[in-house]
């Protein structure tokens, strides 16, 4: 679980990767994710679940409402693909709520590096290992604005980057962060 990082990311990409990866790492799963494989994220009464089983394979025993297909990248961040999900979907609402809370908590911090999940004892084994790999990747891919969260937020809110932090699907089905910069400041 060693990340392969190509260099600094822009602020919007960094925040998107950090938030989406954190959401996926809160999910329950008991398998070792493999780079490039597709997994499926569901939400239900017991929270988030990452599964090897697609929505079409579950039948009636699904662990909850399907949100997205997910893939672990070589830099140990996660990407999500939201396919044909209604705007009023409970899964999308829960994901947006998580992203809002995550970014709000992040905005309260002074330094990004000091709060990266290098070792989170309370997490199950694979989530703990992936959290450590994610932290290492994010530390190596910090944007040009550096370690200061306020500078990162200001850069992320600039017109040249995707602004805001609401989870939605773009035309290709890829997950993106969108919203209003004033909510981030």
| Percent of the chain predicted with pLDDT > 70 | 82
Give 157's pLDDT tier (boundaries 50, 70, 90). Answer: low
**How many angstroms separate the CA atoms of 16 and 45, rounded?**
26
CA 135 to chain CA mean position, Å: 12
pLDDT at position 3 over 90: no
Residue 38's beta-bridge partner residues? 71
Q: How many residues does the chain have?
A: 185
Domain count, the chain: 1
Q: Is residue 90 domain-resident?
A: yes
Q: Is residue 43 domain-resident?
A: yes
Per the structure, the complete domain to which residue 155 belongs is given by: 11-183
Q: Is residue 3 domain-resident?
A: no
Q: Of 61-75, 89-103, 145-159, which gets the smallest average pLDDT?
A: 145-159
Question: What pTM was computed for the model?
Answer: 0.81
């Amino acid at each position: 679980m060693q990340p392969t990082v190509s260099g600094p990311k822009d602020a919007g990409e960094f925040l998107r990767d950090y938030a989406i990866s954190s959401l996926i790492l809160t999910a329950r799963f008991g398998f070792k994710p493999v780079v490039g494989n597709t997994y499926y994220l569901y939400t239900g009464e017991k929270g988030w679940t990452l599964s090897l089983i697609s929505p079409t394979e579950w039948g009636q025993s699904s662990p909850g409402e399907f949100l997205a297909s997910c893939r672990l990248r070589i830099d140990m961040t996660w990407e999500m693909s939201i396919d044909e999900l209604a705007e009023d979907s409970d899964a999308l609402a829960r994901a947006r709520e998580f992203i809002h809370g995550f970014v709000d908590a992040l905005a309260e911090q002074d330094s990004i590096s000091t709060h990266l999940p290098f070792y989170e004892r309370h997490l199950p084994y694979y989530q703990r290992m992936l959290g450590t790999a994610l932290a290492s990747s994010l530390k190596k891919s910090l944007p040009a604005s550096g370690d200061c969260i306020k500078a990162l937020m200001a850069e992320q809110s600039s017109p040249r980057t995707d602004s805001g932090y609401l989870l939605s699907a773009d035309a290709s089905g890829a997950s993106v962060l969108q919203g209003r910069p004033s909510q981030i400041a």
